[in-house]
């Protein structure tokens, strides 16, 4: 769902799940350490979204309210740090019509929650809203880093 078999596409899913050494390394780390981990955060670009599972279905997880509570805190701290507004929601349901609503399989946040069993799993879609696509201007990189540092500090406090 939401991927392609075209290896030249930005939404290429790969030949099979965990086909690449990097994804296998992350998988193995999470499975080996899941008894001591409580969260998994994946950083993407772009869109200024803070997302929780599920991405493969429009159904919400049972702990949706708890996940939204955490994301509300993170959105607020980013706003107070840099003035940037991030939208929060599930990968297929948000407060914004800008968010893609098509289901997409293979998200690491879905896998970390459903398979590795981590209670908190999020995808942070970094700057910007799409004006520059995947190429964030150099003068925004440091500020984006401050946002995410503040976001991660708030996240660990909220969970």
Quote the pLDDT of residue 133.
86
End-to-end C-alpha distance for the chain, whole angstroms: 31
Among 1-5, 31-35, 130-134, 135-139, the range scoring the smallest mean pLDDT is: 1-5
- CATH 3.40.630.10 for domain 21-158, yes or no, is yes
- Average of per-residue pLDDT across 29-38: 98
Sketch the domain layout of the chain as residue ranges. 21-158
pTM of the model: 0.90
Confidence check: pLDDT of 104 > 80: no
Tell whether the model's pLDDT for residue 10 goes beyond 90: no
Q: Which residues are catalytic?
A: 125
């Amino acid at each position: 769902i939401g991927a392609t078999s075209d290896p030249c596409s930005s939404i290429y899913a790969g030949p099979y799940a965990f086909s690449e050494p990097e994804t296998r390394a992350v998988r193995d780390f999470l499975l080996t350490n899941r008894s001591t981990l409580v969260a998994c955060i994946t950083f993407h670009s772009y869109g200024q979204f803070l997302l929780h599972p599920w991405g493969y279905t429009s159904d919400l997880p049972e702990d949706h309210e708890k996940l939204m509570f955490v994301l509300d805190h993170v959105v607020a701290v980013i706003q107070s740090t840099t003035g940037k507004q991030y939208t929060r929601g599930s990968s297929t349901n948000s407060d914004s019509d800008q968010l893609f609503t098509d289901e997409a399989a293979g998200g690491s946040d879905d896998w970390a929650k459903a398979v590795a069993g981590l209670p908190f799993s999020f995808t942070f879609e970094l700057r910007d809203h799409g004006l520059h696509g995947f190429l964030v201007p150099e003068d925004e990189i440091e500020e984006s880093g401050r946002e995410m540092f503040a976001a991660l500090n708030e996240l660990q406090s909220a969970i």
